[in-house]
A and B are shown apart, each in its own frame.
Chain A
Amino acid sequence: MTVSPPIKVLAFSPLYRPFLGGIEILLANILQPLRELGIDVAIVTESAEGLREREVMDGTRVYRLPLSAAVRSRMANEPLKVIRQLGIIIEEEQPNLVHMHSVAQAAAFYVDRLTVSSSALPIVATLHGALVEEDKLGVVLRLLGRAKALSGVSRACLASAAPYIRADLPQYLIYNGIPPARLSSQQWQEGETARLICVGRLQKEKGFDLAIRGLAHAMVRGFDGELSIIGRGGEEQQLMAIAASLGIGKRVRFLGEMPPVAVEREMAQSHVILAPSRQREGFGLVVAEAGRLGVPAIVAETGGLPEVVVHGETGFVLDRNSHEMVGDALLKLFSCDTNWRKLSVGVRNHVGQRFGLVDCIQGYAKFYRSISWN
């Protein structure tokens, strides 16, 4: 049996646990299994009030540095201190490679500086969101230009990088892996009030206003449903006002932030997840997580969402910016319980087959092992 040599990776993630966004959940799922494959990943992330500068979390060494704050200070000594701290971490860790989880982050500046002076340290990057015009910053382009390999959490992410990378750059599609479900969705039956859910930051890009308007559009046509919105953000008051103005204020619940277990419970009690995003969906993690429970989705055709949802089989993929289409899709999905059940079974099977955690872990192992650092 061939034993692969151990690999040490220094990974930069904008945030890490206890924060729980898409990258943090992915890393929480894959770091321990990667260690068992001989791939030891240490994390460098943003410092945060109340969290230690260094700690070991479930076997993963975590370093928290004021990456953004040092830049914001506009004092030349602050980023220099961070560069010095990073130099010490690299001395201690002796990584074989640096992994940027997202290139458009403050750490890009520091990694650029460090790898200018330590050119032997290869960089790989993962795109967790589709790159857009505003990402076309000098430092981002330089890092992508120096990357030895690139992975994306969807085909859409990789396609978005095409204008910024050299044609021969090795690319890997590694979908986020979804762990097996602990719960199962509640079956919807005809005559029952349909429970809709949205999960994410309350900002215009997420299109939750379209979900509310879509619900109103369907209710005018006889649909019986209620919508729960999990998350917080600057648009909350605006969204509440929209629901009130449409006369469905009592049909829309704003649940705020919730711990992951509670989010999963709410998902399992839902009959459909809505993600009518306007842009910047790299993968659609919450849609896949809900799908794993058997919850079909209604999503906009943007970013990686059409890769997570198979139109007509696991949910509906709609044009962006159309609340009418959201409402019509609700009417179609809940036209009879046979229709709903077909999509519920379909989405559970699809997510289990296409977004398995083992495939994801093996994908990252292959990604790292593709790099030659000698």
Chain B
Amino acid sequence: MRYEPNTARISHEQLNDEVIIINVETGAYYSGSDTFAILWSALVQGATDLEIAQHFADRYSVECEVTLKDVRDIIGQLLAKGLLGEAPERPPSSDLSLPDGSLAKWSAPALAEYTDMWDLIQLDPIHDVSEAGWPFAPPKTVS
């Protein structure tokens, strides 16, 4: 099975070993690093779950059935959260360009979920300041 990001609902970006996915409908943030970043990169490039599991098995010298279970688990989470959809079948991927990852040992791809980011940036329990400052506003820039 191949998959594709649900671009109608999400904004996603990858930088080296870190991926951030934002559900722009709900405001939820998702972030994952290392093996998750490799997995997401592979999914975006159209790799199947089997192809990704095989890549991990080769990369980390682990049994493919182990990596396949972990890959299917995380893909299941991505589908359940509406971040990923099924893609039409197409010929097997030949040359995936994937990040190396920094882990020496296999670690199942994991996704952290931040469903309360908006609440977080609204919280300011300790400050007697607005963005402009209190009680002394920052100096105006002299032009």
Contact = CB atoms under 8 A, between A and B. Distances in A.
Given A76-B20, A259-B136, A117 B34 contact: yes
A169 B130 CA distance: 33
Contacts of B127: 14-15, 21-23
A131 B126 CA distance: 10
A343 B131 CA distance: 37
B11 A76 contact: yes
B141 interface: yes
B125 A257 contact: no
Given A74-B11, A282-B126, A113 B31 contact: yes
B17 A117 contact: yes
Given A19-B133, A257-B137, A259-B136, A137 B119 contact: yes
B70 interface: no
A77 B129 contact: no
Interface string B99-143: 000100000000011111101110111111111011111111100
Contacts of A19: 129, 133-134, 136, 138
Interface residues of A, number: 59
Chain B interface extent, by class: 35 or more
B120 A104 contact: yes
Nearest to A139: B114
A132 B33 contact: no
A194 interface: no
A79 B123 contact: no
Q: Chain A interface mostly helix, strand, loop or mixed?
A: loop
A140 interface: yes
Interface in A331-354: none
A49 B132 CA distance: 9
B6 to A, nearest CB: 13
A212 interface: no
B128 A257 contact: no
A18 B139 CA distance: 8
A162 to B, nearest CB: 16
Nearest to B122: A134
Interface of B: 11-18, 20-22, 24, 27, 29, 31, 33-34, 102, 112-117, 119-121, 123-131, 133-141
17 contacts: A15-B133, A19-B134, A49-B141, A74-B27, A80-B15, A109-B114, A116-B33, A117-B34, A128-B125, A129-B126, A132-B125, A137-B123, A138-B113, A140-B120, A199-B135, A201-B128, A263-B135
